[in-house]
Amino acid sequence: MGLFDAEEVIVNGASSGGQAVLFWMNYFRKFLPKRVKLKGISDGGLFLDIINQNGNCHLFRKHMFSIANYTNSMDLGVFEDCEFKNNNEEFYRWKISEDVIKYVKSEMFIINSQNDFEFLRTAYGLNCLDNGVSTCNQNLTQKIDDFREHFLDVALNLKKTKPKWGFWLRR
């Protein structure tokens, strides 16, 4: 299909596809010839590792071990540069974009909402968002604000370590 003849390759995905872009960028870099410029666009794929609505476990940790076992991502060495690769206690971090993104070597452009309502619905069960933030009570509005603050902390710290990356963090 001409991939190896390309001068530049842009990998793009949205939501879980945006998360997949983050996971696979280093693998693509090894797969493509060195002369190929590789860039990635992750749209809505910066998922955070936050405590779920019950307050007793992190959102992704419970399911990530089984998901990684059903994919070939471990066998392909997708996460071989990650510090948590061989640590069973930290295994879930292989699928948390908040952690994996730190290891992406190629230039990226990150597009993400500071208040990802679908993520907030999933993590916290904030059904009030279906009718707009104004219908959420003060406690739930505080959770939304706390999420946004945590998201911006992650993004700003990432920007410091990845100065060539671009960000559009819409509100």
Q: What is the pLDDT of residue 107?
A: 96
Q: What is the pLDDT of residue 62?
A: 47
Give the DSSP H or E segment for 157: helix 138-161
Q: Where are the alpha helices (DSSP H) in 4-137?
A: 16-31, 61-70, 97-100, 117-124
- Report the range out of 69-78, 113-122, 154-163 with the highest average pLDDT: 154-163
Q: How big, in percent rounded to 5, are the helix, strand and coil portions of the chain?
A: 50, 15, 35
Average pLDDT, stretch 120-131? 75
pTM of the model: 0.76
What is the per-residue pLDDT across 12-58, written as a single tens digit (0 to 9) for each? 999 888 988 998 999 899 989 999 999 999 999 888 877 665 555 55
The single-letter DSSP state of residue 149 is H
Average pLDDT, stretch 83-94? 57
Task: Please tell me the distance from the alpha carbon of residue 116 to that of residue 59, in angstroms, as a whole number.
Answer: 15
Residue 95 pLDDT > 80: no
pLDDT band for 119, please (50, 70, 90 cuts). Answer: confident
Residue 150 pLDDT > 80: yes
Residue 118 pLDDT > 70: yes
Q: Shortest CA distance to 40 belongs to which of 15, 14, 9, 5? A: 9
